Amino acid sequence: MKTLVYSIHGFDKPFLVEVADGKHELDFTEQPLNESTAHLAKGFEAVALFTSDNASAEVLAKLKECGVKFIALRSVGYDHVDLAKAKSLGIKVANVPAYSPYAIAEHSVALLMALNRKIVLGQQLIRQNDFRLDRLVGFDLHAKTVGIVGTGKIGSVFAKIMNGFGCKLLAYDVEVNEALSKETQIEYTTFENVCKQSDVISINCPLNADTKYMFNKSIFSKMKKGVVFINTARGGIVDTVDLIEALDNGTISFAGLDVYENEKPIFFYNHSDKKIEDELFEKLRSYPNVLITGHQAFLTNEALQGIAATTMNNIDQWSKEEKSINDIN
Ligand code: NAD
């Protein structure tokens, strides 16, 4: 079975090639999937998609015309795919439900620590021969309250790391993680309580109809003044306009963001020769107390190996049985 891999990058191609090991026929394109690139899938039964690809209803209809029957997502999240439309077209979709949750949880900790201990500013000052410490005062995480929204695979790893720091843990999730409760004494409460009581808030839930703009003006107004806000989940869970207001009025002292609601045309590509035509993003990245990484939380060898292995396994199973254990529609 021939598979077209969209949005291939230098960081993930070697892992896919190694796992495919010449047994799978893979073609690669650096182009993201969208309405104008869907035609490239002509003659392929399967496509492998990245988070930056757009599998909207219109694009799926074009893939169907090209003969695509299976979509293997190289991601946990599937908010970029119209699953209902795929189902109605008879296109099966499988995701990578789990790969190193440590990669993302550890990156959340990296953002938190870099912001709190002012690592970026410290490095800039060292390079300028300025060894004064006056602008570099942070706070102990020990005994601080950390609120986690979404305690699944990634959120629970993050909770355990924060437990190791000696933090008090609060959580909001639609399902209580009993094993995590026993191991860490995390306290489940309402979304509002988590936001009201936490010194640090980390988002680790999926983006869906219930979580879209879950973090907005109304909930920011209830947070402790000076809260540290970390989002490595999905940009659309946060209303960026309201986040900027919360930064301006001092509610949020620091924001560590690996995701941004309109990241698709920006992240993963080199724009060094042009202007970024997104005023909201320009504003967000202008704040010295905002640390942005370009959706790189998953970028560890272990995670990339896991993504490649599960993606190829999903394709393999589908080609033999026309279903895979990770089908999501
Ligand atoms: P998971 O399914 O194991 O956990 C998600 C948790 O969120 C579950 O416990 C679920 O009950 C909870 N949840 C669902 N709806 C909720 C709601 N309305 N309110 C509160 N909690 C809710 O998923 P995971 O592997 O932990 O991944 C979480 C998210 O992280 C993914 O959906 C994805 O968007 C994001 N992610 C980001 C990166 C990155 O590189 N930045 C990489 C992988 C995943």
**Catalytic: 263?**
yes
Structure confidence by residue, pLDDT tens digits, 150-168: 999 999 999 999 999 999 9
Structure confidence by residue, pLDDT tens digits, 175-199: 999 999 999 999 999 999 999 999 9
**Given pLDDT bands bounded at 50, 70 and 90, which one contains residue 308?**
very high
Phi-psi region of 90 (alpha: psi -120 to 50; beta: other; left: phi over 0): left
**Catalytic: 285?**
no
Q: Does ligand 1 lie within 6 Å of residue 54's CB atom? A: no
CA of 248 relative to ligand 1 center, distance in Å? 28
Delimiting residues of CATH 3.40.50.720 domain(s) in the chain = 3-99+301-321, 101-292
CB 186 within 8 A of CB 158: no
Annotated catalytic residue within 234, 261, 282, 321:
234
Q: Does ligand 1 lie within 6 Å of residue 71's CB atom? A: no
60-68 contacts, C-beta under 8 A, 24 or more apart: 60/85, 60/86, 60/89, 60/91, 61/85, 61/89, 62/35, 62/38, 63/33, 63/38, 63/91, 64/89, 64/90, 64/91, 66/38, 66/39, 66/41, 66/42, 67/41, 67/42, 67/43, 68/41, 68/44
Nearest CA to ligand 1 atom 42: 298
The SS3 of residue 161 is: helix
Place of tokens 């920006």: 266
Q: Does ligand 1 lie within 6 Å of residue 3's CB atom? A: no
Structure confidence by residue, pLDDT tens digits, 249-279: 999 999 999 999 999 999 999 999 999 999 9
Structure confidence by residue, pLDDT tens digits, 81-113: 999 999 999 999 999 999 999 999 999 999 999
Rounded to an integer, what distance in angstroms lies between the CA atom of residue 297 and that of residue 41?
Answer: 29
Fold category of 3-99+301-321 in CATH: Rossmann fold (3.40.50)
Q: Does ligand 1 lie within 6 Å of residue 156's CB atom? A: no
**Catalytic: 295?**
yes
Of 23, 22, 30, nearest to 4 (Cα)?
A: 30
CA of 49 relative to ligand 1 center, distance in Å? 19
Q: Does ligand 1 lie within 6 Å of residue 240's CB atom? A: no
Structure confidence by residue, pLDDT tens digits, 55-70: 999 999 999 999 999 9
State both tokens at 282.
């320009």
The dihedral over CA atoms of 17, 22, 26, 30, expressed in degrees to the nearest 10, equals 30
Rounded to an integer, what distance in angstroms lies between the CA atom of residue 81 and that of residue 128?
Answer: 47
Query: What is the per-residue pLDDT for 323?
Result: 84
The domain 101-292: what is its CATH number?
A: 3.40.50.720
Residue type, 41: A
Q: What is the pTM of this model?
A: 0.94
CA of 206 relative to ligand 1 center, distance in Å? 4
Instruction: Give the C-alpha distances (Å, rounded to integers) separating 152 from 30, 46, 97.
Output: 32, 29, 11
Helix (H) or strand (E) holding 49: strand 46-49
Annotated catalytic residue within 295, 302, 321, 322:
295
